[in-house]
Amino acid sequence: MIVGIIGCGTMGAGIAQVAASNDNKVIVVDTNEVALQKAQDAMNLAIEKLVNKGKIQEEKGNDIIKNITWTSSIDTLAKSSLIIEAIVEKIEIKQSLFQSLESIVSDSCILASNTSSLSITSIASSCKFPERVIGIHFFNPATLMQLVEIVPALQTSAPITAEAKRIIDSWGKTTVFAKDTPGFIVNRIARPFYSEAIRIHEEGTPIEIIDQALKTIGGFKMGPFELMDLIGHDVNYAVTESVWTSFYYDQKYTPSFTQKRLVEAKWLGRKSGRGFYNYSENGTPVNTSPERSTMQAIFDRVIVMLINEAANALFLNVATKDDIELAMTKGVNYPKGLLQWANEIGLKNVVKKLDELYQLYQEDRYRCTPALRNREAF
């Protein structure tokens, strides 16, 4: 099978490597030839490292490299069976791209978007054959992260949905189905992990203590500030803003001025040398020894917000219970599913904490979903 990838950034190159590793012929298209060369060089180096570490055989590494063609010509995608775009998160640009693709590819070619939060239905609406358009959302780094969200548009046909799942499953990924709503599963449910942590910090708690609380009490591999710095604040803030505007400015998803200022300062995290943390040689780590009760209070506040989002997604049929749990454990490496966590904490305790927060702040972000009030367990 020939797989076309449009966009040679981190996500596009990662998806290309996954496809090529599974014996597909891959064509990576990007109009920026300098970026193409950099991506190709980076890919070759990454494959070389895998071979040197014994993760793959040299023959396999050579096959992966041979399977990928790098080009600036979109016309080379004419014989593709599947095309996945991973370009800038602008709906108008994606719509224009899909319109162009329809004049090049066969009628049977699946057109997929790797968007993390934009409407697949809106992208599909620009096409003559919208039934073949679908969301196939990988997580970064695509070569390592197991989860892929399959997001049918309203117009997507059942055979296209089934074929997209079959292909991605055959690449060794774990697929979940998500309704075409802003943020799909992961980028919707995970928002409070960042936003509530930032709010707690804005109220005066050092970021180091918040990160330590989520790792020590919750068992998260990374704290929210460490993770935001890793993702990049330009990316993380843009997703938050997209979800917020797409939900008609629902207060639950309101972006933070604190993070916006980091973006404006170009303090984007690890990739720029500074974000919430300073990664330069002069950066001074802060030693913290918070009381366990302090860390517990921080964790309790963040976890009930996450549980509330997961329960509401289930209530609104964004995804099934099993797919929600899979998405959060495989997509963002949460130590356990949020609905399982809710059962362990006790739904009455979750509701009580949310109601306390609402009474204190009188903000809609703390409103409790009916899914938590109307049941004993998930």
Q: Could you list the active site residues?
A: 116, 137, 149, 187
- Note the helical H segments in 316-337: 321-331
* Calpha distance 321→155 (Å, rounded): 24
Q: Say how far apart CA 41 and CA 333 lie, in whole Å.
A: 29
Where residue 95 falls (left for φ over 0; alpha for ψ -120 to 50; beta otherwise) is: alpha
| Residue 142, SS3 per DSSP | coil
**Separation of alpha carbons 116 and 11, rounded Å:** 11
> For residues 284 and 373, what is the distance between their CA atoms, to the nearest angstrom?
45
Give the three-class secondary structure for 343. helix
Cα dist from 128 to 39, 102, 215, whole Å:
32, 8, 49
